[in-house]
Chains A and B, each alone.
Chain A
């Protein structure tokens, strides 16, 4: 029945998909190819582009230590944020998965809220807390612990803090989805065979939750490494990330060919992370959070 259906309506699925496919093709696939082409062009002194095949942009991006250092800094910030998300996120995910149904719904609803609360508001909220006249300084001054406000904002630490605050719900949600799918009988079986609670966790629960943990890590790392807003709001002048270079090249300096080479480099680096993930875990795991 299904097969004959498919035979009779050969063109119909393509018709149904055509708007979405056209959008992805015209607005994503073709433009990404354009980045590749543009990255070999050259910006002239008068600000126009020289069409051709020049390797200058790529040589600059691949050999200039300035770009290399920022790339390393970007990967470091993203990696540290991801690890912090694991450390902060696993326990709450476990708590949600194992709590009574009544609380579970509320906890999940609360977990979804940050997704809805504006990213830029959540990021800038830290200025109210850590700024010179922020809550923390005012409180410490009032306590008399310090005599003048601490300058704790606008450094790599606050960029990581902002990213963790932004990314943590993604991590918790993905770990939770994995933990929730584990058959509780497996843990009980391990316990009845003599495992302690901790052993049962290490031998049964933790390994079974790894796919969700991996999906959470992928999201946190890729989203974290691709941001330029957080460093612009919470970072100092030396805390630029790779996407800031792209923004500067395109929007500030209007150097389109260099911006193309930089964004293609970012795409290749983060794309290979996605490919490695897909090889070992599978993209399908990500979709589970939507169910």
Chain B
């Protein structure tokens, strides 16, 4: 009886600790969202009522709206390019045998292992040597390089689980490799491709470390805009922008996960 009692308290201690850690992870963000609705003009405690005036001001702030559009475009393009490269490379790595595979895998995952600051400086120096000015396409390529490994790892993991027999059946029935990929392999790995696209989008949408180095003058993404605004002081507008960011970066993956599940269910 005492033994049982000890196990129960041990487990409830573990549970209580877990709850506290989860609170630690989420409470600060909840405070941001709460303060975004603050009627108080300094955006601080104590709250003086609920208002959406800061969201209205965000909407009217031209710089923020522009940053938002830039981030959306940047994230979408990065995700598409990165996913295309990632899917093709995963096919090669999983479906074919060739010399130097281990080395190539390491090379393609390397951007995760190199500190982002170093990546940023390296690319910037190279462009400078080529005498190319900073530009939006180059910013996007920078984002592609550090999102690519994530897409690759996600798609590869899924592709390993797809049995070869399906592809071999299609090939033996007369489909060419491109048709086989389009009609058999791609639908089977679609959930992972989708997950990769979402992952790449959110990483790009959220990035500030590399972007501060690569962004051309005058171009701001949402995170760099927040960073610039933080330099002055913390305003309720930043909290409102933060709340919008939280909703987007949380809603996109959740919607994506729901869609991916539906796609996976449709395949069964």
Binding site for B on A (CB under 8 A): 2-3, 5-6, 9-10, 12-14, 16-17, 19-21, 23-24, 27-32, 34-35, 38, 88-89, 91-92, 94-96, 107, 110, 112-122, 124-129, 131, 133-135, 138-139, 142, 165, 168-169, 172, 197, 222, 225-229, 233, 243, 246-247, 250-251, 256, 259-260, 263-264, 266-267, 270-271, 274, 283, 286-287, 290-291
Contact = CB atoms under 8 A, between A and B. Distances in A.
B235 to A, nearest CB: 11
B162 interface: no
B28 A165 contact: yes
A239 B91 CA distance: 46
B265 interface: no
A271 B115 CA distance: 9
Contact of B97 (A6, A233, A264): A6
For the complex of A and B, the 6 pairs showing the least CB-CB separation, nearest first, are A226-B115, A31-B122, A125-B28, A13-B92, A13-B96, A133-B44
B89 to A, nearest CB: 4
A246 B114 contact: no
B84 A19 contact: yes
Given A6-B98, A88-B24, A24 B121 contact: no
10 contacts: A2-B97, A5-B96, A23-B85, A28-B122, A118-B242, A197-B7, A222-B113, A226-B116, A243-B115, A250-B121
Interface string B10-30: 100011011001101111110
B7 A227 contact: no
A18 to B, nearest CB: 8
Interface residues of B, number: 87
B45 A138 contact: yes
Nearest to A12: B96
Contacts of A29: 107
B259 interface: no
B110 A28 contact: yes
B246 A16 contact: no
B62 to A, nearest CB: 21
B125 A134 contact: no
B117 A31 contact: no
A135 B32 CA distance: 11
B64 interface: no
Given A131-B234, A138-B45, A24 B249 contact: no
A14 B92 contact: yes
Contact of B21 (A14, A168, A246): A168
B21 A287 contact: no
B172 to A, nearest CB: 11
Contacts of A14: 92, 98
Contacts, number: 254
Interface string B147-186: 0101011100100000000000000000001000000000
A128 B32 contact: yes
A226 to B, nearest CB: 3
Contacts of B89: 16-17, 19-21
Given A34-B126, A135-B45, A263 B117 contact: yes
Contact of A118 (B88, B118, B212, B223): B223
A109 to B, nearest CB: 8
B108 interface: yes
Contacts of A3: 97
B21 A128 contact: no
A246 B117 contact: yes
A168 B25 CA distance: 8
A116 B113 CA distance: 20
A169 B98 CA distance: 37
Contacts of B18: 91-92, 95-96, 107
A227 B212 CA distance: 13
A32 B230 contact: no
B28 A129 contact: yes
Contact of B227 (A120, A225, A256): A120
B108 A197 contact: no
Contacts of A20: 85-86, 88-89, 108, 148, 152
